[in-house]
Structures are given as C-alpha cells and as structure tokens.
Structure 1
Amino acid sequence: MLFLIFLIIPAVYTSNCSHHYNGMDYTRTAILTIKGLPTNLVVNPMNKDLHFTLIDLESLQNDNVQTKMDQYILRENMPIKIDNINGQAAAVDIKNEKVYLASDDGLYTLNSSDKAQFLSNKDQDIVQLFKPNNSEELYAVLFPDNEVYVIDVHNNEKRKLENVPCAFILAVDDDENVFYECDSKYVKMLLKGFQEPIEFVGIPKNSARAITVDNSNRVILAANDGLYWLTPNNIIPGKLMDLDYVPSGIAFNHDEFYLSTNGIIYKYSSEDC
C-alpha cells in the first residue's frame, strides 16, 4: 500500500524561466508524477480541469493482452480516476458546457459527479476525440481502422470524413482544416473544400506525438524534438520550442500550456517571468 501511495506525487519540481516557447520565457512545473504514460491531454477552461488518459506501459508492450487505459481528471494537482468507463480520450465542448469521453463501448459525457454517462454509438471503439470551439460537430476516430467520423451530437448522427484515410492524432482548426498523422507516419493537412491532403516537410518521419489547437486558433504539434506551429498556408512548420524529452500529450489554457511524457505532466507558465 505504501508503494502505491508514492506512485502519485503532485507538484514536485519547479524550474526557473529557462524554457523558451515562441520567443517568450516560461517556468516549468511538474504538477503530477504517476506510473504510466499520460496522453490525450485536454483542458476544460470553465473549471481548469485537465483531462488525460493514462496508458499502462506493460500492457502496451504485450501483444497478447489488450492495452489498459484509464481516464483521469487532474483537479488542483490531484488525479481523479473516472472508474466506471474504459476511457481512451476526452474532448471539451465549451459552448454547450460538456465533456465528452471516448471509450471502447461508445461515446459518453461526464456528469456533475465525475461519472461517465452513456450518450451514443454503442459497441463502437472510439480512440480519439476532438471538439472545435466554433462547431457543433465532434470528430471521433474509431478503432480498428482509425477512420475519422464527424458526429452531430444534437441529432446523434455521424458521417465518415472523406479524404482522410485514418488518423492516430487529429486536430481541426476554426476554418475546418483537418491536421492529422496516419499510416504514412508524416503529418498532413486536408484543407476545407479540397480532396487531396498536403504533407508538411521538415518534420522527421514517425516523430509526431500529439496535436492540438491553442486559444489563438493555432495548430500546435508536439514532436520528438519540440513544438511546431502548423499553418494552412505553408507546408514548412515554424519551430516554437525545443524539448529534451519525448512528449505524449499537449494542451493549452490561454498563456499556460501542458506537456506530458512518460510518468510526468508538466505545466509551463510565463506568469512569473
């Protein structure tokens, strides 16, 4: 029991303003250390909850068992496990004040008691979610083919997103341009109204780890060597930050952002710089 208690240690380390993102200085704080790989980070700006999926690395490396994943809320630097769901991702609907949860048995919402409540798509294995701020639609990636579907959450209808063959990571900007990484292991974008995706150059093959949209509608990619700004009008991404670890998740909340790696979630802030 004592061993298990020390697997979770909140806010253990703070660095000075030695981290540089987009030309600005940031402090870095380890707000959580936990056994496993935290990924699929997303912030709820309404209450500052940080949602993440925790992957059990031993099961991930064992081809004979199903990968074990649990859904968590990090609230005031303390992790809360959503224990009535096999969670795999979360998405925040700011306009309708909802949190959607992806599971291996359909789409759920989070109720006021931090419990998962079934919504739709029974028996479907949803592995990724993305909710644009200016749209009523929810983007979902379904296992085993990792095809992308667009879900109308009000009418409980979904349609396949054509011209995106599959996605392991996914983000959609306010102009409905789709950014993703698929079997090619290169990051691509599908501009709205076009049928052929465009491949970004300069990002090493199989190095993309997580992708999101920040509060300024900029698509930010976390790759093995750092953070990149992906824009619809340039196939060469802008390098915003170097990293000395391999990231597994990224999320923004105004001037703060979060990055995760094996066993740790970091918070970056410019407030004290």
Structure 2
Amino acid sequence: MLPLLVLLVISKASAELCPYVFDNQSYSRTSILTIRGLPTNLVHNPHTGDILFTLIDLESLQNDDVQTKMEQYILKNGEPIKIDNINGQAAAVDIARNKIYIASDDGLNVLNKTNKATFVSLKDEDIVHVFKPQNTLDELYVVIYPENEVYTVNLKRNEKRRVDHVPCAFILAVDSNENVFYECDSKYVKVLLKGFQEPIEFVGIAKDSARAITVDGSDRVILAANDGLYHLRPDSLIPRKLMSLDFVPSGIAFHDEDIYLAANSMIYKYSTAECE
C-alpha cells in the first residue's frame, strides 16, 4: 500500500494536470489550433481524425453593412487547410459512407480526396447549416437562408422536404429517434419530438446563450452555452449541466471521450488520457 503522503502528492499532481470536469470525469486541455477569427461548426471525422470547421471573420461579423466573410477549413495533423474552391458555411460527416458534406451559399457539396468541394445537390440554395444523422443512410438535415428554414434532403432521390413545426434554426441536432433539437431567432432552445406538432422549450437556459449543439457517441444531445455544456434529454425539460466553462464557446464536437471546443481564435481538445 502506498503511503498516504505519496497518494496525496499523486492526487494533487493529477488535479493540477486535469482540472477540467465533464460529467464527473477529469479532463486535461490542450490548444490544438490558434487562428485569427472565430472557428465554429466543428465536426470530427473519425476516419481521419481531422476536424472540419467554419472560420468567421470577426470584423465582417460586427459590420452590418457588409456580408459576413466565412471560410471552410480542415484541421489535419495540426495544420489548417482551407477549402478554397467554395464559400463553405458548415460541414457534416457521413460516417457509414465515409463522406464529407459541405454546405455552401450555392448548394450542397461533397469533399473529394484532394480536399476540393464537388457539387451534388440543391443548386442556388444558400445552405447555412447541415447535420447528418448517423442512423439513416440517405437523409441529411439542412438549414436554408434567408428564412433559416429546416429541410430534410433525401440524397438517393435528390429531394428536399420541409420539416414542419420547426419555424427556423440557427443551431440544430437530431438524435437517433428523429427528435429535432434547435434554437431559433437567438431565443430559447427547443425540441420537436418525433410525431408531435408543438415544440418543447427547455428551462434554465438563458435567452441568447446557446452557441453550438451536437450529438455525442452515446446519442446524447450536448448543448454548448455561454456558461457550460448541457445534456438535453427529450424526456426532461430541465437540462443537466455536465461542465462549466470560463469562456464563450463557438463550436463543439466529440470523438469517443475526447471533446473539442472552439472559442475566439482557438480550438481546444479535452482528453481523459492523462487523467487515469
């Protein structure tokens, strides 16, 4: 048995190395990218380990007289690679088919092996967000500007269908039961349960504080808000807070137990590898 003093030293060292807590588990944090601008719409590709993200130019974002400048990037081996043949605005990974979809201001695209975007559907549509449920092969969710209406796109038939009872969405995630979690008009986070007509509003989350939303590997819907990360459940109006944050997040993605969070000029990786 280790002496008590040794145990205390080990415990203190572990706490200093892993001071971040997510869902009662200790994490360490490293910065995996520093870049000028606001990275958002984070997506992890488990086939390559790459992170896809949209980079927003903050000067154009704060100027109402100009169109917000956005660029699509891949973070590969620590280096940001710009997808320079498209005005990308979001990305989604189809894990089953090993495809990457890029939402642009001129339709839906796929990414080829040379990191170039190739048009596939919805010509002339300004797509500002895209989400790929992993339990369906042929269906994507897209958000189309200027009304930010939500559609499903059948990739096999190349058809889109309006999602009823969701007025608009700025952030969007869909769980394996086809419950649609969204935030509209910078107000409150809601869920439209499959088969229902009236969305349900989550309580306890401040207005205009939702920043990003995703589904983790356990099919949990995780919201990144101004003050931390929350688990949104379809059977409860009260979110469960999983983590407090000391910065305002702009994007979130998961891979196994690893968490990726974006903020102004930064992308962080939270890991349990050094905390066990």
Task: Provide the TM-score with structure 1 as the length reference.
Answer: 0.94
Residue number in structure 2 paired with 1:221 = 223
**Quick one: distance in 2 between partners of 1:55 and 1:184?**
18
1:121 shift after superposition: 0.7
Residue number in structure 2 paired with 1:122 = 123
Partner letter of residue 90 of structure 1?
A: A
**Quick one: distance in 1 between partners of 2:82 and 2:129?**
18
1:184 shift after superposition: 6.1
Identity %: 67
Partner letter of residue 68 of structure 1?
A: K
Pairing 1:115-264 to 2, within 5 Å after superposition: 115-135=116-136, 136-183=138-185, 185-264=187-266
Residue number in structure 1 paired with 2:7 = none
**Quick one: distance in 2 between partners of 1:183 and 1:115?**
32
**Quick one: distance in 2 between partners of 1:159 and 1:201?**
30
Residue number in structure 2 paired with 1:62 = 63
Residue number in structure 2 paired with 1:49 = 50
Change (3 A) 1:96 1:84: same
**Quick one: distance in 2 between partners of 1:81 and 1:24?**
35
CA contact (8 A) 2:39 2:265 kept: yes
Please give the secondary structure, in 2, of the residue aligned with 1:63.
coil
Please give the secondary structure, in 1, of the residue aligned with 2:60.
helix
**Quick one: distance in 2 between partners of 1:29 and 1:266?**
6
Per-residue deviation, residues 76-130 of structure 1 (Å, max 9, x unmatched): 1110000000000000001111100000000000001000001111111000010
1:16 shift after superposition: 2.0
**Quick one: distance in 2 between partners of 1:85 and 1:184?**
27
Please give the secondary structure, in 2, of the residue aligned with 1:166.
coil
**Quick one: distance in 2 between partners of 1:44 and 1:224?**
25
Please give the secondary structure, in 2, of the residue aligned with 1:170.
strand
1:183 shift after superposition: 2.1
Partner letter of residue 144 of structure 1?
A: P
1:191 shift after superposition: 0.3
1:181 shift after superposition: 0.3
Partner letter of residue 256 of structure 1?
A: D
Residue number in structure 1 paired with 2:75 = 74
Residue number in structure 2 paired with 1:5 = none
Partner letter of residue 30 of structure 1?
A: S
**Quick one: distance in 1 between partners of 2:212 and 2:274?**
27
Query: Where is the strand percentage greater, Structure 1 or Structure 2?
Result: 1
Please give the secondary structure, in 2, of the residue aligned with 1:236.
coil
CA RMSD of aligned residues (A): 0.8
Residue number in structure 2 paired with 1:267 = 269
**Quick one: distance in 1 between partners of 2:186 and 2:79?**
38
Equivalences, count: 259
1:193 shift after superposition: 0.4
1:261 shift after superposition: 0.4
